[in-house]
Chain A
Amino acid sequence: MEFEPVIGLEVHLHLKTKTKAFCGCSTEFGGQPNSQVCPVCLGFPGTLPVLNKVALEYAIKAGLALNCTVNKFTKFDRKNYFYPDLPKDYQISQYDFPVSSNGFLEIDIDGKIKRIGITRAHLEEDAGKLIHKDSVSLVDFNRTGIALLEIVSMPEINSPQEAYEYLTGLKSILKYLGVSDCDMEKGSLRCDANVSIRPKGTIPLGVKAELKNMNSFKAVRDALEYEIERQAKCLEAGEKIIQETRLWDEKQGCSVVMRTKEGAQDYRYFPEPDLTTFIIDSGLIDEIRKSIPELPREKYQRFIKEYGLSIYDAKLLVLIREDADFAESCMQTYANNDKKLIVNWLNGALLSEANARNCQLCQLGIKAQDLVELVNFVERQEISNLSAKTVLTQMIETKKGPAEIIKEKNLSQISDTGALDGFIEEAIKENEKSVADYKAGKENALMFLVGQVMKKSKGKANPKTAQELIKRRLENA
């Protein structure tokens, strides 16, 4: 039987505020344990939380960018449960009146655009960090109380790849907005997945499993693939799927059961009496809406339209806002109407340099003007493509302009006939067999000779000129 997976994703996001959601403690990552805590976030009796204005604004901003309705009335509720990382024994969260709801995110899948619904995006506070030792668990409350935005998707994701695209798209938008670092390694973005399967073409949802502990988008995709296969095997063997939480083990490439939920957990939500309610007026919403920059999908469409980019190139370039800005200034500086060559450099050599240095394009320290100048050298055939890549590396390492490096390293391509003649004569003398082969009609032999000339000139010969000169020389001989 063919099964269709049904996936819903819950993303928890640290908002990039200076201070926590309800107190003035710093949100800085990596501080000494329990050095960023106060009576409010430690839940001491008699203290009162007060909501961070920027956290509320960021939540609204994210909601708007995700096409949600920002609710005119919003309030906080207590979610009650006991766990050692939760000092108050309740988490301040939002139950029936979230900051925003009913949005969507568009993803590209199999050449089509698909809309994934977003149920809600609500504010809550993070819990602390537990470190488990042999006999005790250590608790660090530095993270406790940091403002989180929980973004819940509709169960409308139907493959691990769709989940991956959703997460990539979501992260890109949130980083454009500047509301979060979205750094999974530092825990500022976490993702849980609910997944069930059903026979293809049927409507009722199957029993779902909740997947946790995925530390990258790739891990989310892998964990989903594993889980879908596991559930399919279960059903095919006539077994029942049990509602459970499973932890992904990246090293082993499998998931293990965490705990079986017996019925729904009883969180006994009730309105948080320590915080006021919030009326979000349309003036504030308009003001925040105005502060939203051009978002990746709009930029992507504009790049295709204005610069004639391919879908692949445009998608790659808009992923990170600063890189997209850099790419655009390169494309504008580059005078040619056909932007293919400059874009190939951006998504090719430049991207490899950035990946090798584990940084972004715009962090390579290359000026748009200089990159365009380098590409122009190649276009005028003054340097070879290969040399240009060496120049690029030098530009990054020395911060010098391309002209200076080409001159210093003497990389100018030799197109001068006189300068090439010597290399050609040598190559012909040393490779009599290839010469004979060429004369016997083997075109490949010519390319071999060009290769020899390239070698002798240390890569500086203009291959086209060399080829023509060799051809002429052999035909006249």
Chain B
Amino acid sequence: MAIDKKTVEYVAHLARIELQDKELEKLSSQLHDILGFIDKLSELDTKDVLPTSHILPINNVLRNDQPGQSLTPAKALENAPSSEGNFFTVPKVIE
């Protein structure tokens, strides 16, 4: 699979990462190599193998519907870059 600059730009945008032109080129070739390496897997016959949904061989881990301890608003906001009263604040998202 060919990874061009455009694909890397797209993926970088999805991850909200800003990349310089030089980085784009470097990452394109690196990603290309990585995918090529992973492509080796397609040499295997996986016709009778189910897709893996989880790597641990356990199922049905559930909890009871019992209330636990929540944080106080003050504690919850302790690491917030910005807040107002009991709210977190973010740059306005609609005009």
Contacts and interface: CB of A to CB of B under 8 A. Distances in A.
Given A84-B90, A268-B14, A38 B61 contact: no
Contacts of A268: 14
Given A84-B90, A136-B90, A277-B53, A53 B63 contact: yes
Interface in B56-74: 56, 58-73
Interface residues of A: mostly helix, strand, loop or mixed?
loop
B54 interface: yes
Interface string A114-154: 00000000000000001111111111110000000000000
Given A51-B63, A279-B59, A33 B70 contact: no
Contact of B66 (A19, A32, A140, A271): A19
A35 B59 CA distance: 32
B44 interface: no
B87 to A, nearest CB: 4
Interface string B26-70: 000000000000000000000000001111101111111111111
A33 B86 contact: yes
A135 B67 contact: no
Contact of A137 (B65, B73, B91): B91
A271 B53 contact: yes
Given A139-B87, A271-B54, A130 B73 contact: no
A51 B54 contact: no
Nearest to B68: A24
A125 to B, nearest CB: 14
Classify chain B: how many residues form its interface, as a range: 35 or more
Interface in A42-99: 42, 50-56, 75, 80, 82-84, 97
Chain A interface size, as a band, is 35 or more
Given A138-B88, A277-B53, A132 B70 contact: no
A273 B54 contact: yes
A344 interface: no
A135 B95 CA distance: 9
Given A50-B62, A75-B53, A278-B59, A139 B70 contact: no
B92 A136 contact: yes
Interface string A172-197: 00000000000000000000000000
B62 A19 contact: no
B16 interface: yes
A151 to B, nearest CB: 21
Interface string A322-362: 00000000000000000000000000000000000000000
A138 B92 CA distance: 8
Given A38-B71, A266-B14, A277-B53, A17 B65 contact: yes
Interface of B: 14, 16, 52-56, 58-73, 76-77, 82, 84-94
16 contacts: A25-B67, A25-B68, A35-B72, A37-B70, A51-B61, A53-B63, A53-B65, A55-B65, A80-B14, A82-B16, A84-B90, A132-B93, A140-B86, A140-B88, A271-B52, A271-B54
Given A276-B59, A277-B59, 14 more contacts: A19-B66, A19-B67, A24-B63, A32-B86, A37-B70, A38-B70, A50-B61, A54-B65, A75-B54, A97-B53, A135-B92, A271-B54, A273-B54, A275-B61
